[in-house]
Structure 1
Amino acid sequence: MDDDQSTPPRLTRLTFHGPLSEARATRIIDRLAGTAPPGTVLDIGCGWGAFMLRLLEAVPGATGIGIDLNAEDTARGRADAERRGLAGRVAFVEESGVGTTLGPADLVVCLGAGHALTDQSPPDHIRAALDALRGLVTPHGRVLFGEGFWEHPPPPERLAAMWPDATADELPDLAGLVDLAVAAGFRPSWIETASAAEWEDFESGYQSDVEDWLAAHPGHHLAEETRTRLDAHRATWLRGYRGHLGMAYLTLTPVL
């Protein structure tokens, strides 16, 4: 089949844009909604805002703002908010999080998007992101910070298979990540990390819709380019960061 009007889908089988399961998201939301539920939510690098929308459903009357530069993702978020009956309680803004004036909020969510808050390069980007988050949360609010760390120090051959210019010092270990949060003026009220199953579900979901499209459109003019892109990403995961890159979900409270 060769349909020049068809193009590869994008992330249609992902609920969240990261290694976060529905079960873990529900547990986190239950904690956040059950103790001092937020009145305002700010989601930095929100994508389509899946976590924020679920949180707003759990906290009647709360309002949210999601910030992201990807117009396709924010359009998906607006459509989902409409479908869930939340359109009047949430806004999606297409802008950078660097220097944003849309805070402060009772809950600031930043899941795998610390880079959206700073122009700093690794390894200084995490410290800068945490400093920015400290200024965006209300005094008695909370921050949900999802950030990468090294589960195991990657050897040179693994680093070479990761993203361009990957280095062993660009991420801390989990203890170092929590230390950075404390140094930025937070206390960690909950520390958890993505499981291997969550990573596999995310990475498989990241590509599965495009793999199915490719199987249905082998003669498409974009097929070769798409196949090359899929192969490169899969190799980066399986030969590079799999088993070494972790994702921490830290619930942080500001020190008064």
Structure 2
Amino acid sequence: MEHLLHRAIRRQDDHLLDLGCGDGTWLLRALEAHGGVTAVGVDISGEGFDHVLSEAARLGLEDRLELHRQDVAEYRSARKADLVLSVGAAYAFGGLLPTLNAAREHLTEDGMLLLGDCFWEREPDAAVRAQQEDGPQKYADLPTTVAQVVADGWTPVYGYTSTIAEWDEYEWCWTGTLARWALDNPEHPDSDRALQMSAAHRTSWLGGYRGFLGFVVLLLRRTPPPASTEVS
């Protein structure tokens, strides 16, 4: 993600908006690496905000970072962003195209969008597809996904496709962190539920979408309208 941010941040006074920012860690890293950049993160959870804001204060960056606990689809800002990030949050908008539409409204005229979304590495069986597409969001293969983005008026200027090793690292960390917390806190009322959630997700991943579902991050700019041609 850091090398993508380095490509996406063009000026030292860029303003960043992360729609679905998680705990805000990536914005904090962007601020550390780019003096003068300001950033706003929005996430409906808000989990981890206190820690990241505390870390920002320790580093002297607190005046350049705002984190808002809010539904990203309802968030409105008076200031347009030079870079909008939406990585793994398309479900919150109802799918890929609604995410692109939302990002467009937040961007400056020459702004860039860092978009991350899933796609099918290979055609899944019906059960795996139903499990992963149980809401409004549907996935396609990578060429079709990129074609949909282009047809919506965007030009990819860079992209990165996660490897299966990176997927595995993410999933083991996700399920392992939850399981570790449950085992370390057996008296907590949510301990059993957390352990069950970890096991259910691990089974869904290893016995279901592993090797089928991929993830791509695209760096996008608006496609200019075609130049008008005069007929003599």
Q: Give the corresponding residue for 1:197.
A: 165
Query: CA offsets, 1:34-77, max 9 Å, x none?
Result: x4456100010111112111112222111111111113233233
Any residues of structure 2 matched to 1:200-215 within 5 Å, and which?
200-215=168-183
**Aligned with 2:134 (options 145, 158, 165):** 165
> Partners in 1 of 2:74 and 2:191 — Cα distance?
40
Any residues of structure 2 matched to 1:1-256 within 5 Å, and which?
25-33=1-9, 35-36=10-11, 39-102=14-77, 103-116=79-92, 118=93, 120=94, 125-159=95-129, 162-163=131-132, 165=134, 170-216=138-184, 222-256=190-224
**Cα distance change, pair 210–176 in 1 and its aligned pair in 2 (3 A):** same
Query: CA offsets, 1:182-205, max 9 Å, x none?
Result: 122211001211111111111111
**Cα distance change, pair 253–38 in 1 and its aligned pair in 2 (3 A):** farther
Unaligned segments of structure 2, at least 5 residues = 225-232
Aligned residue pairs, count = 223
Deviation at 1:164, TM superposition (A): 7.4
Query: CA offsets, 1:12-45, max 9 Å, x none?
Result: xxxxxxxxxxxxx222122224x44561000101
Contact between 1:189 and 1:253, CA under 8 Å: does it hold in 2? yes
Which residue identity lines up with residue 60 of structure 1 in the other structure? G
> Partners in 2 of 1:132 and 1:172 — Cα distance?
20
Query: CA offsets, 1:185-233, max 9 Å, x none?
Result: 2110012111111111111111223333444456766544333222111
Higher relative contact order (CA 8 A, sep 6+): 1
Deviation at 1:171, TM superposition (A): 0.4
- What secondary structure, in the 3-state scheme, does the structure 2 residue paired with 1:51 have? helix
Moved over 6 A (4+): none
Unaligned segments of structure 1, at least 5 residues = 1-24
Contact between 2:158 and 2:218, CA under 8 Å: does it hold in 1? yes
- What secondary structure, in the 3-state scheme, does the structure 2 residue paired with 1:66 have? strand
Which residue identity lines up with residue 155 of structure 1 in the other structure? D
**Cα distance change, pair 37–147 in 1 and its aligned pair in 2 (3 A):** farther
> Partners in 1 of 2:17 and 2:189 — Cα distance?
41
> Partners in 2 of 1:203 and 1:65 — Cα distance?
27
- What secondary structure, in the 3-state scheme, does the structure 2 residue paired with 1:65 have? strand
* TM score, norm. by length of structure 1: 0.78
> Partners in 1 of 2:56 and 2:71 — Cα distance?
21
RMSD over aligned Cα atoms: 2.4
> Partners in 2 of 1:139 and 1:248 — Cα distance?
24
Q: Percent identity?
A: 31
Greater shift, 104-113 or 133-142, is seen at 133-142
* TM score, norm. by length of structure 2: 0.85
